[in-house]
Structure 1
């Protein structure tokens, strides 16, 4: 008997060492349902790197399964200006393989970002990458976001009331920046706003851009006092690429918005009023001395309203726009799209909707199937047609032109479309404007009156100084050519005595469009 106890101890040890008796948490599973969980879905390096180069963040990788899993690969790629490394089990690398996480256990990964603090016009403000995990045939990702330049960062931020965005440093929007319904955001002249992919500035209250700016002389296109919105990618290939960020959205409670001396480019939407249930009073946006260009979007679903929307420089769902001295160009779907009660007042505007790819692209011209301006008096929400509300459209001393394009049914090109227009014909008032339209040369909605110039034969060649179909130099220029049919065809509007660039207009016979032609 005295040998029995030692024998039992030996047998117990041998039993533990047998493969069939290996602890459950050490047994590997190859089940594809055995996925990983993470302590966060985004590792964010929210320190602004202006003088210090690197910082480290923690990420816990959890295995909730009762058995062990083998992570076949953990990897992350570096980006220009940002170098990433991982620290796993004391090893620093950008890639690790065959890491085993026991059942009901976790793995700690230290993610280190080293960012070049040297300022550069080519370096993006935000760098987004993916930390990748491959386990049992499953590919999982954790976003890694790094701020690469000195700026004000607004990440899914509800702004404090009566916020002022200063011009001393750029502002960067990640996700969204929200102006609440009782609040006002004021943006100072010269501010720069860069938005990450898909980001929106959402205005439930009021937005005021350069409300008190009164220039005393000519404001050239590169003037430092112009407020500029664009995507956060700074590389040259992105300089004129549409659809890089969402745009500015005004919700149903928004009111008394004022946007002056502003350039907005490279978005899915320029200015979007989203009031699909026609809440009263309707949101109002006044736009003065602005440029909106490079606008495009695939259809976007607004889940709350059951709507699919295409890109537009000015998109009004039951909202009112007053637009003066403004240029709209390169909109791949619509320049203006208004439905169900939208009110548009356009004075001295140029819609030069040439659709062109950025310089260096394989195509210099793209196909657009939609008219530049489309208005309708109804809308469907969740497949139900809302009550008919007639839109209003007034255009004075303006230009609506575009390059030739395809149509769905092979008919003549028309850049002006009023769906169900006969029901609100009395709400349409276009005068002293150049129009590219075949549909409205005759009939009850004819625009061959009120001093309008329809389809001038010299339009494609001499309307503007430089276009994609008639390029002169590296940049397109939508000021009037010396032989333009729009020269001296306007009627003076007493409240508007200067053009987009703040140059004085001829007091007797002003030019049409956003630009008054300078005398040689």
Structure 2
């Protein structure tokens, strides 16, 4: 009897389930809702896949519906591809009879890869539409992508299938040598402004050669990538002053992740590494963003660098890390770095004029400026700091002490700050006697707000209400500011000539 009762209950449950099936749907009537009317896939480079973008489709009705067709307007010729709730459909282009339950939603994931086309301009929009249903019930979502034609530089594969590497000390890294007679790209030591460049691995200048970047050139680095300038080689970055916010004449080094969400994320690529013995390095009008270390300059064998009108932002360690190098810097801005915006370490010779070193990294351990005369290791080795001079500069940031002088006995430690605005609250140490030590400090403005326009977006303009306004010494004048604007007398501190902020 008990078995019969159980069988009867099972039959009733089965009959109830049969009365309501997920496959009992009504046709879609064109009343779908979407999370976006237009999906912007941002800038992608030719021959490289974009990131994946999401579109959510909603059924707000009380009925389970059947969407007879989801496809691209350009059909199988579309350069987009999609998946619908994990299904790849027909080549990622067409999907038939998609069920969407009442009060439910589904996800569509969209990507694109656009092949290089020499008949197109260097930048262009590629568009398509995702179509739902058809006929009278047709609904569309627009797709828009900015495609930038690019030259891809990357390590080759060896005969055994392994990827080309470079020896760095006792280790090897993925990398390759730039070839001035490359059969595909021509002279890889000359970066022009005709196309963008995307670099995978560490591009390396052959010894004795010079790599040159023309005004307006754009270089995008993949993760764990960068540029190496070895002994007896040089880098010349020949950016010029731009006339608009597009920085059309700047040389720009950045990550190959071009989506807006990645604009301010540090550590997306490696570094520009000027190794020991590289020489006559000249950097002008460079904007560098989102690296691990912006410029890593080693100088045990006399590495020299001239750096002018340069902006470095959002680096996980340093904006500029110098080791016993010889650097002259003018109109430099560095911000948002995990350890120090400028680190002059292991001695060396440095002179910076009209520079803005700021650090708004969210840690009390960071500083805007770090100076030392030794190398870190089990047994620290000291080297002479023969000069570290700062004229008409701003040294500021989000914490109370934005400067660290870290010296050890056994080697010279020569430094001087002239007409600088400095944020520093702990003045008990003998090295920080800003008012009573004229050998090292002259005309210091201490702990006054420079009133930058918007440091959150790396805008360090000032106006006439700034504590840095007209506080510079004309003896150290650089006639033009970082934007090419003529400085008035007495000059403002930092890299910018003051101007009214936009209303």
TM range (shorter): 0.5 to 0.7
Q: How does 1:68-467 map to 2 (within 5 A)?
A: 115-117=113-115, 150-156=149-155, 157-160=176-179, 163-204=189-230, 205-210=233-238, 213=240, 215=241, 219-275=243-299, 278=300, 280=301, 282-296=302-316, 311-355=317-361, 366-381=362-377, 383-390=378-385, 392-404=387-399, 413-420=400-407, 427-440=414-427, 443-448=430-435, 449-456=441-448, 459=449, 463-467=451-455
Q: What is the distance in 1 between the residues matched to 2:386 and 2:217?
A: 34
The 2-side partners of 1:200 and 1:476 are apart by: 23
Contact 1:391 1:424 in 2 (8 A): no
Q: Say which SS state the counterpart of residue 344 (structure 1) adopts.
A: strand
The question of whether the paired residues in 2 share the 8 Å contact of 1:325 and 1:349 is answered with yes
**What are the Cα deviations for residues 364-392 of structure 1, in whole angstroms up to 9, with x where unaligned?**
xx3241322112211145x3333443363
- Determine the structure 1 residue equivalent to 2:483: 501
* Contact 1:341 1:377 (8 Å CA) reproduced: yes
String of CA shifts for 1:142-190, please: whole Å, max 9, x gaps: xxxxxx9631121133113582111100011100110122000110000
TM value normalised by structure 1: 0.60
Kindly indicate whether the alpha-carbon contact (under 8 Å) linking 1:151 and 1:171 is maintained by their aligned counterparts in 2: yes
Listed as ranges, the gaps of 5+ residues in structure 2 are: 1-44, 49-77, 84-89, 93-110, 117-121, 127-146, 156-175, 181-186, 436-440
Alpha-carbon distance in structure 1 between the residues aligned to 2:475 and 2:124: 41
Q: Are residues 237 and 262 of structure 1, via their aligned partners in 2, closer, same or farther at CA, if it must alter by over 3 Å?
A: same
2:468 maps to: 486
Provide closer, same or farther for how the CA distance between residues 519 and 239 of structure 1 changes in structure 2, counting only shifts above 3 A: closer
CA separation of 1:444/1:262 partners in 2, compared to 1, >3 Å: closer, same or farther?
closer
Cα distance in 2 for partners of 1:486, 1:421 equals: 33
Instruction: Measure the CA separation in 1 of the matches of 2:257 and 2:79.
Output: 13
Would you say the 8 A contact 2:346–2:374 is kept in 1? yes
CA shift at 1:294, angstroms?
0.7
Between the aligned partners of 1:253 and 1:192, the Cα distance in structure 2 is 27
Q: Distance in 2 between matches of 1:321 and 1:367?
A: 28
Distance 2:382 2:273 in 1: 23
Note if contact 1:435-1:455 (Cα within 8 Å) is conserved in structure 2.
Answer: yes
- Distance in 1 of aligned mates of 2:398 and 2:338: 12
CA contact (8 A) 1:117 1:149 kept: no
Q: CA separation in 1, counterparts of 2:458 and 2:113?
A: 36
Cα gap change, 1:501 to 1:48, in 2 (>3 Å) = closer
Residue 312 of structure 1 contacts residue 337 of structure 1 at CA under 8 Å; is this kept in 2?
yes
* C-alpha distance after superposition, 1:23-60 (max 9, x if no partner): xxxxxxxxxxxxxxxxxxxxxxxx9649xxxxxxxxxx
Q: TM-score, normalised by structure 2?
A: 0.62
Closer, same or farther: CA 190–373 of 1 in aligned 2, 3 Å: same
Q: Is the 8 A contact 1:274 1:319 kept in 2?
A: yes
RMSD over aligned Cα atoms? 3.2
> C-alpha separation between the residues in 1 aligned to 2:125 and 2:381?
47
* Structure 1 Cα separation of the partners of residues 287 and 79 of structure 2: 27
Give the conservation status (yes or no) of the 8 Å contact 2:386–2:412. no
Check whether the contact 1:228–1:262 (CA below 8 A) recurs between aligned residues.
yes
Cα gap change, 1:175 to 1:441, in 2 (>3 Å): same
* Counterpart for residue 13 of structure 2: none
- Shift of the 284–439 alpha-carbon distance from structure 1 to 2, 3 Å rule, reads farther
Q: Cα deviations across residues 334-356 of structure 1 (Å, max 9, x unaligned)?
A: 1111221232211000112122x
Instruction: Tell me how far apart the structure 1 counterparts of residues 432 and 411 of structure 2 sit (CA, whole Å).
Output: 10
Query: Quick one: distance in 1 between partners of 2:274 and 2:238?
Result: 18
CA distance in 1: counterparts of 2:445 and 2:293, whole angstroms: 29
SS of the aligned residue for 1:338 comes to strand
1:397–1:233 CA distance, 2 compared to 1 (3 A): same
**Structure 1 unmatched ranges of 5 or more:** 1-46, 51-79, 86-91, 95-112, 124-147, 297-310, 356-365, 405-412, 469-474
Could you say if the C-alpha distance between residues 81 and 260 of structure 1 is closer, same or farther in structure 2, counting changes exceeding 3 Å?
farther
Quote the offset at 1:493 in angstroms: 4.2
